[in-house]
């Protein structure tokens, strides 16, 4: 099982639409193999700092910070394919 965590903060205008698009892609691609969790960096600041999150939105895969900014769906799909292989 692959765990995708999206770190963002409330009020991030560009985050909501992009997160919805990426989540739809993950749901379609994962078919039960990928979990999705949205992390509010203000509520889980210690965890975000532990992973090295310095800005939002950021994405971690299996507890490892992979994208420090919002990736394109193509980049996220490529990263997830590596984990699924």
Angle between helix 13-30 and 73-84 (nearest 10): 40
Give pLDDT, residue 27: 83
DSSP 8-state secondary structure symbol assigned to residue 12: -
2-38 residue pLDDT tens? 999 999 988 887 778 778 888 888 888 867 888 999 9
Rg (CA), the chain: 12
Give pLDDT, residue 10: 85
DSSP strand E in 9-52: where?
34-40
Q: Is the dihedral of CA 3, 19, 11, 56 positive or negative?
A: positive
User: What is the pTM for the complete model shown?
Assistant: 0.87
39-80 residue pLDDT tens? 999 999 999 999 999 888 899 999 999 999 888 888 988 998
């Amino acid at each position: 099982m692959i765990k995708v965590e999206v770190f963002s903060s409330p009020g991030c205008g560009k985050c909501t639409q992009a997160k919805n698009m990426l989540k739809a892609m993950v749901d379609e691609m994962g078919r039960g193999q990928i979990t999705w969790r949205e992390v509010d960096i203000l509520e889980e600041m210690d965890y975000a700092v532990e992973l090295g999150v310095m800005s939002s939105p950021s994405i971690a895969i299996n507890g490892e910070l992979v994208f420090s900014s919002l990736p394109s769906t193509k980049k996220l799909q490529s990263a997830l394919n590596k984990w699924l292989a």
